[in-house]
Structure 1
Amino acid sequence: MIRSLLSPLVHLFYPHCCELCGTDLSRTDELLCMTCQDTLPATNFHLYTNNPVSGIFSGRLPVTQATAAYYYSQASGLQRLIHRFKYRQRKDIALWLGKQMGHMLQESAWAATVDAIVPVPLNPRKEKERGYNQAAVLAAGIASVLNRPVLPQALVRSQYTSSQTRKNRISRWENVQTVFSADSCVNGRHVLLIDDVITTGATTEACGHSLLEAGAGVSICCLAYAYR
């Protein structure tokens, strides 16, 4: 009763607003209002074995399943959310989006076979500059829903690489093909590899090969698919 009486007063001085449209959120909404949540461009790829993300790795990387939660589109608010958690220290946004990914994965039978969650690592220098690894925060959100352990040290990025943003597919692959190594802790486990945005899949593919060489079975889940 006390909480219900105090809540409106606290809300007055510490407004809880939608991250995208700025409207006042209800007590049950965490980051976005329901209208803005509904505008996020969900792919539903997790429900289909053959989808555009799994097609990226066909003939390149033997995966159990590959998916992305949303389409990466400049016309949607997702781009703004990604920019804020990558460049404005908004870990809370990445954690919330990770939870949404986890709820989507719960709808898939294959997700029940996942033993552990592995984020794509950042080079330590870049992680220090940013303050955290956004893929690890997404992984933490997913893990809180799926109740699976996160293995942040399962993959190590041993070299600092230049940005992939303006590179073509071949250049992206050459930029990352030798920079990852996997720990033996993944041996015999079905791991879910997590990254933020997938375009050509070069970074994810390099990580996947390292995990396979260490004895893991690999599935992939990215936050967003940047289709071309």
Structure 2
Amino acid sequence: MMNLWIETLLDWIYPRRCLMCGRLLTVEERHICLPCLMDLPRTTFHLHPENLMEERFRGIFPLERTAALFLYEKGAAVCNIIYSLKYHDQPDIGVFFGRLLAWDILDSGFFEGIDCIIPVPLAPGRLRERGYNQAAMIARGVSSKTGIPVLETHLVRTRENPTQTRQSVRGRFENAERLFEVRHPEELAGKHVLLVDDVVTTGATIRACADALMACPDIRFSVLSLGCTY
């Protein structure tokens, strides 16, 4: 009762608003209001193995499954979720939506056989500036629901690279080439790794991660993200 009173008081002093529509949140709501939560443009990729995310990686690396929480379209309300996670110093958004994503697909068997979760590493300069890796926050949320361990040091970014935001499709792939390096590859040999990112667009970054991790014998992958573009 005391915690509820404190939360109500804090909401009065520092009003919390829905990331999508801006409506004031109730004490029970976190980051997104119930109507917007119900209206999320969910992908249901986990129920359809041959989905548009899977198409971006088919034949490129040993792929088991793909899933994303929502379809991501520039200018849509869901963009505010990713923007706030990355630029408004709110790492808890990643944890919250990582849990939501895991909860949504848990009963589908998506996580069966996955040995570990590896979030896409953030460039060192951006990590210092931001203070956290948004993909790692999502991964931690997924881990809290599934119990699958998160490995944040086995894949590292070897260099800074220009932002992908304004890159052409070709530019994104060239930008991501030889961008990552695997540490302790012997520990990942024969593992089923879940790669996690915030948004999958062309798939260039995920492909670069998998390319580096292919140094580990008999490794295979599944891919998970909050958003996926059309």
Instruction: Please give the TM-score of this superposition, normalised by the length of structure 2.
Output: 0.89
The residue number in structure 1 matching 2:215 is 213
Deviations 1:155-212 (A, max 9, x none): 1111111111222232222212212112323222211100111111111001012223
1:21 equivalent in alignment to 2:24: no
- After TM superposition, give the deviation of residue 87 of structure 1 in Å: 1.2
Q: State how far apart, in whole Å, the 1-side matches of 2:135 and 2:195 are.
A: 9
1:95 equivalent in alignment to 2:66: no
1:50 equivalent in alignment to 2:29: no
Structure 1 runs not aligned, ≥5 long: none
Q: State how far apart, in whole Å, the 1-side matches of 2:137 and 2:216 are.
A: 24
1:135/1:4 CA distance change after superposition, 3 Å: closer
- After TM superposition, give the deviation of residue 96 of structure 1 in Å: 1.3
- After TM superposition, give the deviation of residue 19 of structure 1 in Å: 3.3
- After TM superposition, give the deviation of residue 59 of structure 1 in Å: 2.2
Tell me the percent identity.
35
> Contact (CA 8 Å) 1:47, 1:107: kept in 2 or not?
no
Letter in 2 for 1:178: R
1:120/1:6 CA distance change after superposition, 3 Å: closer
- After TM superposition, give the deviation of residue 18 of structure 1 in Å: 2.9
Q: State how far apart, in whole Å, the 2-side matches of 1:145 and 1:34 are.
A: 21
Deviations 1:63-115 (A, max 9, x none): 11122221012453210111111111121222211111111230321312111
Structure 1 residues 1-228: aligned runs within 5 Å: 11-13=11-13, 15-183=15-183, 184=185, 185-215=187-217, 216-227=219-230
Q: State how far apart, in whole Å, the 2-side matches of 1:12 and 1:87 are.
A: 24
Instruction: Please give the TM-score of this superposition, normalised by the length of structure 1.
Output: 0.90
Letter in 1 for 2:227: A
1:213/1:104 CA distance change after superposition, 3 Å: farther
CA RMSD for the aligned pairs? 2.0
Task: Give the match's secondary structure for 1:163.
Answer: coil
Q: State how far apart, in whole Å, the 2-side matches of 1:5 and 1:67 are.
A: 38
Letter in 2 for 1:224: G
1:8/1:136 CA distance change after superposition, 3 Å: closer
Q: State how far apart, in whole Å, the 1-side matches of 2:4 and 2:138 are.
A: 32
Instruction: Report how many residues are paired.
Output: 227
- After TM superposition, give the deviation of residue 222 of structure 1 in Å: 1.4
Task: Give the match's secondary structure for 2:110.
Answer: helix
Structure 2 runs not aligned, ≥5 long: none
1:154/1:36 CA distance change after superposition, 3 Å: same
